Each structure stands twice: as structure tokens, then as C-alpha cells.
Chain A
Amino acid sequence: MSHSKITRRRALQGLTAAAAGGFAGLSGIRPGHAGGSEDPRFLIVLCASGGASIIDGPLAISTSEAGVAAPTLNCFPDVVMGDFDPSIPFSAVDASLGAVGPIPVPFTTGQAQFINAHHDDMLVSTLTTTSVNHQVAQARAVTGNGAWRGRTIQESVANQYGAAFPLPNVHLTTGTDFTQRGSDESLPAWAYGEQVANPALWPLALDGSRGTSHPVDPGVLATARALRNDVLDVNSRFNQAFAGSDGVRAWTGLRGSNQAAIEQASLIDQLLFVPDEAPYNLSARGLQPSPDAALVRSVFPNYDWDPLHAQAALAFLLIKNRVSVTVTIGPSFDLVLEDGTSLGGGGLPEGSMANPPIAFDFSHQGHRSTQAFMWSRLYEVANGLITLLQGEEWLGGQSLWDRTMIHVATDFGRSKNRVANAGEFGTGHDLNNGLLTISPMVAGNTVLGGRDPSTGMTYGFDPGTGAPETGRNMTEEEIFGGLLGVMGVDTDGETDSVPAMEA
């Protein structure tokens, strides 16, 4: 029997070529948008699942503003409204409440603090959507109701800037249609979202050997992979019969240089944010936390039990380490309690609940407390991300934050009325709403359009000048085009930018 050879040299040559190219090498096989990757902008989609009502957040209405409509309108006692400089067009609810709907967990909101810190980067654009079905509305929120051949805003940004990035578009939240794949099949495969199910442990899947119970030398692994990929698989009768299947083609396409490039970039060293202690014990398996792990854990300390904190921690590291140009995060529809929280009588301790069931949609059970709780939750996570990104230099005195946009995507608004003078009440879904976008790249400290304090309904604006137009409603297509304009995405004229939204 003659023994053919896959030599170490041959295997390592392939590995070295991939390593030398790194992701610049990948860019050579990724025909992304011309020139985009050299000057990227970053997008964080913060999903407010269930319906974040703009008039419970930055456009909250006080009782005195509402006037005679106050008793039956969703408005707030003047005493809980944040006290701002008159030049700030936003409002905030700072209140201490004893429960979230029927869940007896006390909490205190601090929305004014966020607005005082970030109003110069905050833009509210009013919007009237087209569906009050969660799934449909979420999909339309990220596609602008199919404005650009059905591609999502994440895919659009990934296609524009992500060609040289290992994983341009990463979805860290699950269970919503904000992360659905768009319907434009013409995009390159890498522009579609890479789903991450477990942010804390997902980085382990970025290396085929390191950290396993029986690791091998990289050269040994390369030798074996070369034998498998180049000899056994290609010559097997199975492959000869079924290589044309979609599944096998996709699988073999993911192996090889793409896989080697990811491993050679040592992403596993950059993205593990958990500590080197039980239950993770990284060093026992030859691993170590990211150099930024302690920093992100200090900003998102509940990473171990609050999925949103874990998502945000990894989201920052993905952007900071130039792995992704867009990440999608958001609270889930699940009740999230701190580990060990007792469900006995007497209510839950303050801070023990991170997320109510069905997130913003828990407004059906208790609108005021749910919206206050969830808006504060979004602000807290956004503030953490902004703080981290501001601390990372890009080039020429710019920080990463200067090139990043956080867009709070939501399904729709909520109904505007309440039972007369009720402090807590339930609401339904309402098409009329507005959106919060935070970035140095947007027209900051700005409300485009406005809201009628006697009805709670928002109205639109002139896309060019930004002048309010009380008889106009902004469409999903218009806002989608405006957001892509802020991100500098070239749409070849398929959507219209909204100059009033841009800085």
C-alpha cells in the first residue's frame, strides 16, 4: 500500500497564507461596497421589543402640558418630570414606583440623568408605522417596510462597510423579527446576520481547539483539516454524489480560509469577557479573558444573569476589536430575575428583576410602570455602550463613539389614553409613535416633528428642513432612508436621505 502524504508544510502554508492575509485577506474575496471598509461607521440596533412609547420616554407629556385633556391622557404629574435647561427639547420621567404592573418589585427611574448626559447626541424622529402585529412591525422597523428591496438596515450597513470584517453583522438577541433575514437575496452571504445564542460562551466557537478538553497543536489541527478537506472529503463517494446540495456546499464553503482566518485573528482572546473564576475557569483550559473583560464587566455587571448585559458586553468587544460593523441587541420577551431571587411573599427586592415578561408589551398589564422601567433599562445599556465607545480612540482624535449610531428600534407605539386619572392602566398597540436615535452623527438635541400634548399623537416634519408639519405623518420608508443617510450608506438612489436627521 503506497502512502500519500499531506505534509505539515502544505498544511501550514495554507494556514500561513490565511494568517498573513488576516481579514485584509478576506476582503480580497469579499466584493463589498467600494471603499466602505476603510472608513467604516458602526451601527448598534437596540431593540425595544413590544412597543416603546415615545410619549413615555423622551417625549413624555406633563399634566400641565396636557391641560384639560390630562385626566384621560397618558401624561405624568409635573413632579416626576425631569427638570431640564429650556434648550433641551426632551423630557424624562424620574419616579419611584412600587411595582411593574402586577409584579411587586420596587424601582426608581433616572431618565433625566441620561438625557442631561447625552442630549447633544439624541435625535427623536416621529413616525407612524403600518402594522400593530409584533412580528410584522418588527420586520418593517428594520427594513423600512421593504424600502430597499427588503434588505435590513443591519445588512445594508454590513454590505457598505463590512467586507474586511470577520463577522460584519452579528445578532446577539433572539426571538424577535428585528433580526430576521431581509428578503434581498442579492447581498453577499457575509452581510446577513450571524446569530449568537450565548454571548458569554460564543467566543469559544472561534477556535477549533483552544480551550477544549483535548487540545492539539495548531499545526496538527491544520494537517488534519487539510487531509479532511482536500483529500478525504473531495474524494469520498458521498461527496461525489452530494457535493451539489445546498447544505454541503454551504458547509464546505465555510471551512478552509475563512475558518483559518478567524482562528488566526485570535478572536477567542479578544472576546471572552467572563472572569477567570468559577464556573468559567478559563486558565484551567489555557484561555484568558479579553484584556477589556474587567472593563466591560464593570459597566455591565449583571452579565451573568441578565442577557442584555451579556449582549452589550460582547457588542462592545465586537466593535472595538473590529470584528463587526453592526450588532443587534435587546431585551427579550422573558422574565429575567437575578439568580437566587425568592418568589416568596412580600414582593421582590429592588434590582432583582431585570426584565418583565414580554418586555415593553407588558404595558398591556401595566403601561406606566412597564414603560418607565423599560425606558430606564434601555438608557442604562445605551449609556454603558456610549461610555465604553467614547473611551476607545479611532483615528485623528476621534473616538469609536464618533463613528457609531445607536438606533432604538421598536414595533410601534401604544394607545394614548387612560382611565380617568388612573395612575396605572393598560394600553394597546398604536401605529403612531416616534424613534430615538443616539449618535454624534445625527442632528443632536433635536426633535423632528412633534407631539400634540392634548392627544399624545405625534406629527411629522419636512425631511429637508426639519420644519414640523402638523398635518404630516412620517413613513417607515422615510425614516429608513434617513437612518441610512446618517450611516453614509450609498443606496444608489433607491431610498431618499433625510438631511434633517444628519449632523
Chain B
Amino acid sequence: MFLDQRALLLGLCTAGLLACGGGGSSSGDGSGSTGGTDTQTSAPTSGPSGTESESDTEDSADETGDSGPQPGEQAPSARPRVKFKTAERYAADLSTALSLPRVALCSELDAFDCIGVHRIALGEVDAFGLRLFEPLETTPITAPIAVDRIALSACGERAAQDFADSGNAASFQEVAGGDASGASDRDAVVARLYRQLLLREATDAETDAVTSMYDDLPESGRAQTWAQMACFVIATSTEALFY
């Protein structure tokens, strides 16, 4: 049932009623993204990463005429078989969502592709380089930290570009001028981030929570920091990492 909102949103995307996916003037030029592209083009039958799942099909079957439970009323899945996106899929989705080329998402020490550095910890294999033919059996303790590094860099880069050229902002246009003191402006940014990163509408409670984070941040550079961290909390949520 959780998918009801997304299915509805994707239907609206198809009808051109909402600005979805890239959300800005760019569509991820040079991203090389496959997962993200699939997410948009095959949306009616695909999950967030373009992969159809059994639960998708089942959930879609009973949605007709049913507005679904209200937020906070979701029943636990009887078969909670979600999958981790793994490094490459996550990078592709992040690239599309933030309209950043894949290579611009993140680099370690300005010399090494983040996704490459952390790919094994994040579920990838390396048959030719490391003779790792299967993903690691257990998630390393460094994996959530690696995801945080990737998302922090990508969100920071999106914010830096938007604040440097607010007229062409892709994610943060309402605050990219440097003033995020207006709650309604922040609400608009949060709504867009949820559409871009999770392909659904934010609930009121989610919008409220992310918008309010602004009050807890240091005053220096607060608008851009808030923009970066608002993106970060959504991009590293379990919903963004599993499908």
C-alpha cells in the first residue's frame, strides 16, 4: 500500500501535471545514468530503481478507488523483501535526481571516484580486480558512513551550484538567493526534494520536520547548509537506499 502514493505521482508525471525527476533545467547531462532513466521512462510498471517487483504488482492491483491509509497507518509488510540499491544503482538514481553528471557526484581526495572507492562496501562485486564474484554476505559497518559521504558530497555540490547560479537552480531555487528564512520557501524546496529523490510527495509531517531543521543550524551560511542537509536527510533515508 505504500506504493499507492508513488503510483499516483508517477501517473501525474506521465500526464505532465507535475515536474518530476530532474526537476530543473538540466536532465543530468552526461550522467550515464541507467537506473535513474529507467525510473522515469518505465515508471508505471517499475519501482524507484526501475526494477519491477512482485510486491509492486500486488500493491498496484488493489489500489483502484482506494485513497489508502493516512500517513502513520501503514501496515507492516508480511513479506518485507526489499533490496539494497548497491553503489552503482544508488549513484545513478542520485545523479538523475540531483541533475548532476555521474562523475560530479563525489570524488575522494579530488582524485578517486567515490562510488569506485566504496563500491564493495555498498554491495557491488569486482570479479576482475579483486576476485569478488558475489556481494559481501554482511553489510560492513563502514557502509552507512560511505553512503553519508557520497550523499553529503552530491547534495553539497548541488547546493553549491544552485547558490552560485540561482537563476538556473535545479533543486533549491526558492532559497538559492541566500535567504531561507521563509518557511514556505523551505517547504517548497522540501516538496521538490521528495519528488526528485523519492519520487513521491512529502507528507506534512515530513515537510515540517525537514523545514524545521533550519532553526537548529548555525547562522553562518545557514541557507546553503540547510539546503545541503535537507537533501542529505532525504537522500540517505532507508526509503532512498532500498527498493
Residues of A whose CB lies within 8 Å of any CB of B are: 1-8, 11, 167, 174-176, 181, 189-190, 192, 194-195, 197-198, 201-202, 204-209, 211-217, 219-221, 223-225, 227-228, 231-233, 235-245, 247-248, 250-252, 254-255, 258-259, 262-263, 278-282, 284-285, 287, 332-334
Contact between A235 and B205, CB atoms less than 8 A apart: yes
CA distance A69 to B143 in the complex (A): 57
Point out the residue from B145, B160, B187, B215 that lies within 8 Å of A208, measured CB to CB.
B145
Within the complex, which residue of A209, A225, A248 is in contact with B149, where a contact is CB–CB below 8 Å? A209
Does B164 sit within 8 A of A, measured CB to CB? Answer: no
- Which chain B residues have a beta carbon within 8 Å of chain A's beta carbons? 1-2, 5, 71-72, 74-77, 80-84, 106-112, 117-121, 126, 130-132, 136-146, 148-149, 152-153, 155-157, 159-160, 183, 187, 204-213, 215-218, 225, 228-229, 232-234, 236-239, 241-242
Name which residue of chain B comes closest to A245, CB basis.
B80
| Cα-based distance from A247 to B77 in the complex (angstroms) | 14
Q: How far is the CA of A236 from the CA of B5 in the complex (A)?
A: 13
Does the CB pair A194–B140 fall under 8 Å? yes
Assess A214 versus B157: contact at CB under 8 Å? Given A195-B136, A224-B213, A235-B205.
Answer: yes
- Chain B residues near A209 (CB-CB < 8 A): 148-149, 152
Task: Report whether B2 and A237 are in contact in the complex, using a CB–CB cutoff of 8 Å.
Answer: yes
Q: Given the interface contacts A227-B209, A251-B84, does A233 sit within 8 Å of B237 by beta carbon? A: yes
Q: Which residue of chain B lies nearest to A212 when distances are taken between CB atoms in the complex? A: B153
Contact A242 B229 (CB under 8 A): no
Contacts of B149 in A (CB 8 A): 204-205, 207-209, 212
Contact A6 B239 (CB under 8 A): no
Closest 9 CB pairs of A and B: A214-B156, A175-B131, A208-B148, A245-B80, A3-B212, A197-B120, A240-B74, A238-B239, A205-B142
Q: Is the CB of A174 within 8 A of B132?
A: yes
A-B CB contacts (within 8 Å), total count: 247
Cross-interface CB contact of A232 among B132, B144, B157, B237, cutoff 8 Å: B237
Contact A213:B72 (CB < 8 A) given known A228-B233, A247-B242, A284-B110: no
Decide: A192 and B138 in contact? CB cutoff 8 A: yes
CB distance from B203 to the nearest CB of A (A): 8
Q: For A1, what are the chain B residues with a Cβ–Cβ distance below 8 Å?
A: 183, 187, 204, 207-208, 211
Whole-angstrom distance from the CB of B195 to the nearest CB of chain A? 15
CB distance from A152 to the nearest CB of B (A): 13
Given contact pairs A1-B187, A2-B208, A227-B209, A254 touches B132 in the complex (Cβ within 8 A): no
CB of A263 within 8 A of CB of B157, answer no
Q: A223-B216, A228-B237 are in contact. Are A241 and B131 (CB under 8 A)?
A: no
How far, in Å, is A361 (CB) from chain B's closest CB? 13
Q: Which residue of B lies closest to A198 (CB)?
A: B117
Residues of B within 8 Å of A189, CB to CB, are: 138
Cross-chain contact A250 with B213 (CB below 8 angstroms): no
From B109, B137, B209, B228, give the contact of A279 (CB < 8 A). B109
- What is the chain A residue whose CB lies nearest that of B120? A197
* C-alpha gap A313/B1 in the complex (Å): 51
- The complex places the Cα of A161 from the Cα of B148 at a distance, in Å, of 30
Question: Distance in Å from the Cβ of A180 to the closest Cβ of chain B?
Answer: 9
Q: Could you list some 25 contacts between A and B, CB below 8 A? A: A2-B208, A174-B131, A197-B130, A205-B117, A205-B118, A205-B143, A209-B148, A213-B153, A213-B157, A228-B236, A228-B237, A232-B234, A233-B237, A233-B239, A237-B5, A238-B2, A241-B76, A241-B77, A242-B80, A245-B80, A248-B238, A259-B144, A282-B109, A284-B110, A333-B131
Please tell me if the beta carbons of B228 and A8 are within 8 angstroms of each other in the complex.
Answer: no
Q: In the complex the two chains form, is A212's CB within 8 Å of B156's CB? A: yes
> Cβ of A251 and Cβ of B212 under 8 Å apart?
no
Q: Which chain A residue has the least Cβ–Cβ distance from B111?
A: A279
Complex Cα spacing A126 to B192, Å: 67
* Distance, CA A458 to CA B215, complexed state (A): 74
Chain B residue at minimum C-beta to C-beta distance from A284: B110
Q: Given the known A-B contacts A214-B152, A223-B216, are A6 and B109 also in contact in the complex, defined by CB atoms under 8 Å?
A: no
> A194-B142, A227-B209, A227-B210 known; A244 and B76 CB under 8 Å?
yes
Known: A6-B213, A332-B131. A239 touches B152 (CB 8 A): no
Given contacts A194-B141, A227-B210, A240-B72, 19 further A-B contacts (CB under 8 A): A1-B208, A1-B211, A3-B183, A4-B205, A6-B212, A175-B131, A189-B138, A197-B120, A204-B109, A214-B228, A223-B229, A224-B229, A228-B237, A233-B239, A238-B237, A239-B239, A243-B76, A279-B109, A279-B112
